[in-house]
């Protein structure tokens, strides 16, 4: 039987390891799957040193990114965004408030947040106060308070007709 070979993983492989790890696998698995799929490279001292250096550089960048994200999260900690929307009866919104609307409001006050980073289970369809979670880079999260204020659309509310009694002619005296 052939002995196991050492492979450096070029990507995360399920049930095997993460990027840059040195793993021991059967030669056929390495030769027929990992190497042709560009998931791993044969281990050599030069490649091991190269991957160690790349891992250190990536970890350094992640630490810097996380520190920046934590500063951004502290700045966003007390942020409250007010969004106005047209409402009908029973304070139901015409349409809804989505993560794109919240993102635009945050961008308007100086917090550049992409709409995909705002966790909103369902679009907001009624007036009220909501607390939304915002994902930042480096697995950092923050929360933002969103206040939805309704503005009544005069065209949408049906006019109530009030019948007036005909005015009686006042006797002239």
Q: How confident is the model at residue 161 (pLDDT cuts 50, 70, 90)?
A: very low
Q: How confident is the model at residue 152 (pLDDT cuts 50, 70, 90)?
A: confident
Q: Domains in the chain: how many in total?
A: 2
How much is the pLDDT for 154?
61
| Same-domain status, 17 and 48 | yes
Question: Could you tell me the two tokens for 10?
Answer: 């070029």
Question: 47 near 54, Cβ under 8 Å?
Answer: no
Residue 61 has pLDDT above 70, yes or no: yes
CA–CA separation, 128 vs 147, rounded Å?
Answer: 6
| Same-domain status, 119 and 88 | yes
19-48 pLDDT per residue, tens:
888 999 999 999 999 999 999 999 999 988
How much is the pLDDT for 165?
47
Please give the torsion angle defined by the CA atoms of residues 117, 119, 122 and 125, in that order, rounded to the nearest 10 degrees: -90
Q: Which residue has the tokens 């880079």?
A: 137
Q: How confident is the model at residue 7 (pLDDT cuts 50, 70, 90)?
A: very high
83-132 pLDDT per residue, tens:
998 888 787 888 889 999 999 999 999 888 889 889 989 999 889 999 99
Report the percentage of the chain scoring pLDDT > 70: 87
Q: How confident is the model at residue 82 (pLDDT cuts 50, 70, 90)?
A: very high
- pTM, two decimals, is 0.60
The sign of the dihedral angle between the CA atoms of 50, 52, 58, 61 is: negative
Instruction: Give the CATH number for residue 147.
Output: 3.10.430.100
How high does pLDDT run on average in the chain?
Answer: 85
| Same-domain status, 101 and 148 | yes
* Distance between first and last Cα of the chain: 127
DSSP 8-class letter at 17:
B
101-114 pLDDT per residue, tens:
999 999 999 888 88
| Same-domain status, 40 and 80 | no
- 157: in domain: no
- 162: in domain: no
């Amino acid at each position: 039987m052939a002995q196991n070979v050492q492979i450096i993983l070029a990507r995360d492989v399920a049930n095997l390891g993460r990027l840059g790890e040195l793993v021991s696998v059967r030669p056929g698995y390495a030769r027929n799957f990992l190497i042709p799929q560009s998931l791993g490279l044969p281990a050599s001292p030069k490649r091991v040193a190269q991957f160690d250096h790349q891992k250190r550089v990536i970890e350094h960048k992640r630490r810097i990114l996380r520190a920046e994200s934590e500063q951004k999260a502290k700045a966003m900690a007390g942020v409250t965004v007010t969004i106005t929307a047209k409402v009908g009866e029973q304070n139901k919104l015409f349409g809804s408030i989505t993560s794109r609307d919240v993102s635009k409001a945050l961008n308007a006050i100086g917090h550049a947040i992409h709409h995909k980073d705002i966790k909103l289970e369902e679009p907001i369809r009624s007036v009220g106060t909501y607390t939304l979670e915002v994902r930042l880079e480096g697995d950092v999260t923050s929360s933002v308070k969103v206040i939805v204020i309704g503005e009544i659309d005069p065209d949408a509310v049906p006019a109530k007709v009030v019948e007036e009694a005909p005015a009686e002619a006042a006797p002239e005296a």
